[in-house]
Structure 1
Amino acid sequence: MHSEPDVAAPVSADPELADLARRVREGVGRVSWRMRAEAGQGSPGPAVLAVLSRLYRAGTQTPTELATAERLQPQSLTRILASLTGRGLVTRTPDPGDGRRSRVSITPEGLAVLREYSVQRERWLAGSLESALSPTERQLLRLAADLLLRVADA
């Protein structure tokens, strides 16, 4: 007999903590969605941005390291890397320690694409913060942002 998972099961024994988790998830998700929507048509897709961001933050990586870190299927990553290489946004060079592997690096052009996308999103967000929040609320949000970064790194 197969039982359905209980989707109504509480996420925490503490109802206030469960409500906070839901509200943070919803707020972060909606802001993230709006930033992607505001970036406009022709913006890189999420997987492309994830690969470029990873290369920027972590430096040169093997395709296997990229696929693992970004939880991408190797076939998907192969298509993404082919596109990025063709557009001059990344370079692939032989691994000096193992000629069968390659190493992938972001190019200055790739960094420019990544930065422009970030600037577009941050420009929209800064305008929204200015129009929707008081100076005191913006200070509270600054504290909350720092806390979210701590949670993400935990």
Structure 2
Amino acid sequence: MSETIGEQSSALRMATFRLARRLRAQKSDDTMSDPQFGALAALHVHGPHTLTALAEREKVSAPSMNRTVNCLEETGYVTRETDPVDKRKISVAITESGTAVVGDTVKKRDAWLSAELETLSADERDVLARAAEIMAVIATR
């Protein structure tokens, strides 16, 4: 008897969750939390943000993002810069060392996943490539 849609969705959710957890464990700075890396990666990809905009992007409260940014600032991964036009506005920007941590972490995660994919057959890798395309469609809806 085949699985129901509910059973399939549950199995996919759990497998995705476990894989994401394994990938998140691969990072170049083991002291950095997942929310800290998420904020740092957002700054790397999207450029400087105000604290409020960064909190909205990461779907957390402004006070929570402030704590995250404080930790990243203490480690030298981000700086706060005053807007030259509106002195009341502060932007959070990634530093060179923050950019290096993001790059090193991405390389580490890609290397781990590549090593895992090498243990699979060509057919299994093809199935996962197609699944990745479908998951990307679902994620953008």
Give the TM-score category using the shorter length.
0.7 to 0.9
Match for residue 27 of structure 1 among 8, 15, 30: 15
1:57 aligned onto 2:60: no
Post-superposition Cα deviations, 1:79-117, rounded to whole Å, max 9, x if no partner, equal 221221222211211123432120111122111101211
**Cα RMSD (Å) of the superposition?**
2.0
1:28-107 matches, cutoff 5 A: 28-39=16-27, 42-107=30-95
Which runs of no fewer than 5 residues in structure 2 stay unpaired? none
Match of residue 151 from structure 1:
138
Match of residue 125 from structure 1:
113
Match of residue 11 from structure 1:
none
Amino acid at match of 1:144: A
> Match of 2:60, SS?
coil
Structure with higher RCO (Cα < 8 A, 6+ apart): 2
* Percent identity for Structure 1 against Structure 2: 31
Q: Larger Rg: 1 or 2?
A: 1
Q: Structure 1 residues 21 and 97, CA, compared in 2 at 3 Å: closer, same or farther?
A: farther
TM-score normalised over the length of structure 2: 0.87
1-structure distance, mates of 2:31, 2:122: 31
Amino acid at match of 1:19: E
Runs of 4 or more consecutive aligned structure 1 residues displaced over 3 Å after TM superposition:
37-41
2-structure distance, mates of 1:38, 1:90: 21
Match of residue 17 from structure 1:
5
